[in-house]
Amino acid sequence: MKALMKKRAGPGGFAFEEIGKPEIGDEDLLIEVKAAGICGSDLRLKNIGDSKALIPPVVIGHEFAGIICETGKKVSRFRVGERVVSDNSGYLCGTCRYCGTGNYMMCNHRKGLGFGMDGGFAKYVKINGDLLAINPNTLFRIPGQMTYEEAVFMDPLANAYKAVIQESNLKAGDSVVVYGMGTIGLLAVRIASLAGARHVIAVNRSQNERKYEIAQSYGATEIIYGEKDVPGKIYGITKGEGAEVVIDCAGANHILEESLQILRKGGEFIKIGYDSEPLNLSLDDFVRKGIKIIGHFAYDYESWIECMHLLESGMVDVKPLISGRFPLERWEEGFELAESREGIKVILIP
């Protein structure tokens, strides 16, 4: 089968090449991938290539959905023909305190599909039986009317849900600022709106009419593009009160400093985006204002089950976020679109 691989650490190192179809054992199963999404972390693997989770050579791609095409003879929970979406776990130890409490994404020895084990930018993905024994909910069955492309959004949607609903103390009537209008940022706007935020303020450094339209349709009450004085603008919107919650889906370090001005006393700063540069900032003023800084990572079972409900019910419509679809062999075009200002979520079809 053809697969998109990361051959070595560092910038570049991508190769689209022929590899063997995975062979399964008695307790394993095989997924035929029907759709896979390009994530911002895939772009970082291409352009920067530094990731503690990366174990090259490896097939990349962790946002994928497909159909079970083979099962080992001892597999009883799943059957051939079922449509499933993966939470991208590939290996869990099952013995650390995080596995012991069901917080599998924090497993001390976890390997993710697309980073530490072969992922979804290929025709087939193997799911190991030892993983299924530890966490059978690593795979979710896709409801009848949901498409594979919609199911691909479960990963970014669950990230947005956990940040807005589970990690913040957002209440109806609060003001929320979301930095970044990528996939997770726009979905965070939607979740904040569904949660009853009075002001849902989307902030993006560059102007993009399509993202503007989607943010509005998702419930953004105000959108700020390229403003030099973002805090001043937000204090005007909130009539001097500031925001209760800032969700940083962009990652640039200056956003943390800017949030010190935006957040009211006792507010919350939730960081999703990454910036590898050192932070040249004293946190003393965050202490004086009693601001909580929360580092966000991934999701959990609650995130996934609730987001499946949101997608299935139509309360979150992800179709507008799809910027393009490409066969896997045209992955370079897909990555170019994903990296452009026009791209939001690009789907690859093996």
- Helical residues (DSSP H) of 37-177, grouped into ranges: 40-47, 97-100, 129-134, 148-151, 154-161
Indicate whether 228 pLDDT > 90. no
Instruction: Report yes or no: 84 and 138 within 8 Å, Cβ to Cβ.
Output: no
Round the average pLDDT of the chain to a whole number and report it.
96
At the top level of CATH, the class of 157-295 is alpha beta
User: What would the mean pLDDT of 161-190 be, rounded to a whole number?
Assistant: 98
For 221, 233, 255, 283, 335, the CA distances from 237, given in Å and listed in that order, are: 10, 6, 18, 26, 37
User: What would the mean pLDDT of 35-54 be, rounded to a whole number?
Assistant: 92
User: Could you identify the residue written with the tokens 């009883």?
Assistant: 76
Contacts of 182 (CB under 8 A, 6+ apart): 40, 249, 250, 344
User: What would the mean pLDDT of 229-239 be, rounded to a whole number?
Assistant: 96
Indicate whether 260 pLDDT > 80. yes
Indicate whether 202 pLDDT > 90. yes
Instruction: Report yes or no: 337 and 50 within 8 Å, Cβ to Cβ.
Output: no
User: What would the mean pLDDT of 180-204 be, rounded to a whole number?
Assistant: 98
Indicate whether 325 pLDDT > 90. yes
Contacts of 342 (CB under 8 A, 6+ apart): 208, 210, 323
Q: From 185, 165, 176, select the one nearest 238 (Cα to Cα).
A: 176
Indicate whether 71 pLDDT > 80. yes
Longest Cα–Cα distance in the chain: 64
Q: What is the pLDDT of residue 49?
A: 82
Count other C-beta atoms under 10 Å from residue 41's C-beta. Answer: 18
Q: How far apart are CA 228 and CA 234, in angstroms?
A: 12
Bridge partner list, 89: 112
Q: How far apart are CA 205 and CA 181, in angstroms?
A: 9
User: What would the mean pLDDT of 101-124 be, rounded to a whole number?
Assistant: 97
Confidence category of residue 227, pLDDT binned at 50, 70, 90: confident
Indicate whether 170 pLDDT > 90. yes
User: What would the mean pLDDT of 169-192 be, rounded to a whole number?
Assistant: 98
User: What would the mean pLDDT of 164-182 be, rounded to a whole number?
Assistant: 98
Instruction: Report yes or no: 132 and 76 within 8 Å, Cβ to Cβ.
Output: no
Q: State pTM to two decimals.
A: 0.96
Question: What is the percentage of the chain residues whose pLDDT exceeds 90?
Answer: 94
Q: What is the pLDDT of residue 341?
A: 78
Confidence category of residue 19, pLDDT binned at 50, 70, 90: very high
Q: How far apart are CA 263 and CA 217, in angstroms?
A: 25
User: What would the mean pLDDT of 200-204 be, rounded to a whole number?
Assistant: 97
Indicate whether 24 pLDDT > 90. yes
Q: What is the pLDDT of residue 16?
A: 98
> What residue spans define the domains of the chain?
2-153+318-349, 157-295
Q: What is the pLDDT of residue 52?
A: 83
User: What would the mean pLDDT of 189-207 be, rounded to a whole number?
Assistant: 96
Indicate whether 314 pLDDT > 90. yes
Indicate whether 50 pLDDT > 80. no
Q: Which fold has domain 2-153+318-349?
A: Quinone Oxidoreductase; Chain A, domain 1 (3.90.180)
Q: What is the pLDDT of residue 206?
A: 87
pLDDT tens by residue, 127-155: 999 999 999 999 999 999 999 999 999 99
User: Could you identify the residue written with the tokens 């590939």?
Assistant: 90
Q: What is the pLDDT of residue 276?
A: 86
Indicate whether 57 pLDDT > 80. yes
